Amino acid sequence: KKKWLTSLVLTVGVGLLVSACGTGGNQASSGSGTAGGGTAEKVYVVGTDAAYPPFQMLEADNKITGHDIDVLNAIAEAGGFKVEWKNTGWDPLFDGLDRGTVDIGISSITITEERKKKYDFSEPYFEANQLILVAEDSPVNKLDDLKGKKIGVQGATTGGEVVKKAFGDTYQGLKEYDDMPSAVDDFFNGRVDAVVGDNGVIQYYVKKIKDKKFKLIKDDSFEKEYYGIMVKKGNTEILNKINDGLKKIKENGKLQEIYNQYFNKE
């Protein structure tokens, strides 16, 4: 009971101190346990699956790079907050947000109704769509032509969703991989007939392999997708900072500049 009283006194005391020092307004953040003069700044942990080029990549020295990394770093700078990067992988990124070991997720994550039930998203920062990757001489010209064929996707992505929507949740030919490079590897080795994934990534891989030609198909059923930055539901404190920074880099041309750097080279 004594402990409780002490902490109450401390909390109230610090609270009074903070409001006394503040220049009015409510910018004094009520951060978790960083009592003091406001110098101990919170560093937000950003999780990503750094195996989705050119959006998220892991360099030889374990440095995480890519379009989304540049975008979030620019947002943090413009929004006035500090971040630290963590290569979590795809499924563990969602778990990390659930458990609070990750504060922010950026990983070419499409804003979907299903995900919005559990997470909050920033305004969109990128427009995308699914693409089907097949061999150049493949008879496949639309999604429906893939029926009966082996299709590789990254598990728990919108690529898997479009296939399930077309052929059913238990479609035998669907192979779900933990990460995109594994799906693409199996395609190049002939273990699956096609890969379905985000356009930017599929195009990246196709460009890299110069000695072979491929066919990329956008099915009529593929809808526009928008990437958003994800936080745990209700975490409005950080979401507001993210949206504020994002607005700024949309307005000052920084977002476009980053886009050009990765997608408009030639």
Give the binding site for ligand ARG (CB under 6 A). 49, 52, 56, 90, 107-110, 154, 157-158, 180, 198
Q: Which C-beta is closer to ligand ARG: that of 29 or that of 129?
A: 129
Burial class of 245 by CB neighbour count within 10 A (0 to 12, 13 to 18, 19+): buried
Beta-carbon contacts of residue 185 (< 8 Å; ≥ 6 apart) = none
CB 118: neighbour CB atoms within 10 A? 12
DSSP letter at 184?
H
What is the Cα–Cα distance from 167 to 94, expressed in whole angstroms?
A: 26
List the beta bridge partners of residue 43: 82
Minimal CA–CA distance to 101: which of 232, 227, 229? 232
- Nearest distance, CB of residue 17 and ligand ARG, angstroms: 43
Shorter beta-carbon distance to ligand ARG: residue 42 or 164:
164
Residue 121: CB partners within 8 Å, gap ≥ 6? Answer: 109, 111, 115, 228, 229, 230, 231
CB 198 to ligand ARG: min, Å: 5
Nearer to ligand ARG (CB atom), residue 154 or residue 235? 154
Quote the least distance from Cβ 8 to ligand ARG, whole Å: 44
Residue closer to ligand ARG by CB (options 55, 214) is 55
Q: What six digits make up the tokens of 42?
A: 């919170």
Strands (E) in the chain, as ranges, are: 43-48, 57-58, 64-65, 82-87, 104-105, 119-121, 126-128, 130-135, 151-154, 174-177, 194-198, 214-217, 225-227, 230-232
Name which of 108 and 122 has its Cβ closer to ligand ARG.
108
Q: Which is nearer to ligand ARG, 21 or 156 (CB)?
A: 156
Instruction: Report, in Å, the least distance between residue 97 CB and ligand ARG.
Output: 14
Minimum Å distance from CB 79 to ligand ARG?
22
Query: What's the closest the beta carbon of residue 41 comes to ligand ARG, in angstroms?
Result: 28
User: CB of residue 165 vs ligand ARG: minimum separation in angstroms?
Assistant: 13
Question: Of 49 and 120, which has the nearer Cβ to ligand ARG?
Answer: 49
| Cα torsion 120, 125, 129, 130: sign | negative
